[in-house]
Amino acid sequence: MATPTTSFMKEVLPPVLDSTSQPPTLFDGTTRLYISYKSPFAQRTWITRNCKKNCCYGKQGLQEKIKLVPIDLQNRPAWYKEKVYPPNKVPSLEHNNEVKGESLDLIKYIDAHFEGPALLPDDPAKRQFAEELFSYIDSLNKIMFTALSSKEDVGDEVGAALDKVEDALSKFDDGPFFLGQFSLVDIAYAPFMERYQILFSDVKNYDITKGRPKLALWFEELNKIDAYVQTRRDPQELLAHTKKRLGIA
């Protein structure tokens, strides 16, 4: 398992499709990843696609093999629900004449079905811990988003949740990431942790990395990985978008 490098060219991103847009030629053999540029769930699959592409070592990359199709979630095209993915959410993946959804399932699917070094280690202990961390993230998100929406100061529950993340980053000492080396676990957490760092600083005047050196290092190392960096949006744009969604003034 190799850490993605920073050697590939910045991708020219396709325009966002809305209710006035025509659909692509569906089920023509093209693999398409339907995303929103602002969705943390979709960002997971976008990072995974970039990581596999980035590690192809001279072979045709996934930039050509998995086409991005960005959707405007505030003004969705009717054909997306009717013809592509009835749950009408992102991300979804059109591959081999099927459409699959759910971001955690999709990052594992992309890792397993496309070329490039594996994004999960073979070590059974690390794989077991990966599953534990995949299972925990929904609980973490509930705690963090609830706290952001609350008028109260940051409470002990947030601190305990972040301390659990800090402890998880301390489990393996062969690298700065959750499983030591960069993996699908980091990809699963990155879009949300990125938002928490921005939002808690702005809304609660709270630094989620204070007193958590492993988490601070994780952010530092994460931001060296081009496959992730290329999926990041402007922090102020993310801040405004997420505050609007959460109803925060």
What the block records as the tokens of 48 is 């995974």
Spatial contact of 177 and 1, defined as CB atoms under 8 Å apart: no
CA R_g for the chain: 18
d(C-alpha 29, C-alpha 176), whole Å:
39
Helical H runs in the chain?
40-54, 62-65, 78-79, 103-113, 124-149, 156-168, 184-204, 213-222, 226-229, 235-246
| Alpha carbon 178 to chain centroid, angstroms | 15
Instruction: Taking the CA atoms of 184, 174, 166 and 237 in sequence, report the sign of the dihedral they define.
Output: negative
Tens digits of residue pLDDT in 74-116: 999 999 999 999 999 999 999 999 999 999 999 999 999 998 8
Per the rule left: phi > 0, alpha: psi between -120 and 50, beta: everything else, 138 is: alpha
Per-residue model confidence (pLDDT) at position 205: 94
Tens digits of residue pLDDT in 178-211: 999 999 999 999 999 999 999 999 999 999 999 9
As beta bridge partners, residue 33 has 68, 93
pTM of the complete model: 0.91
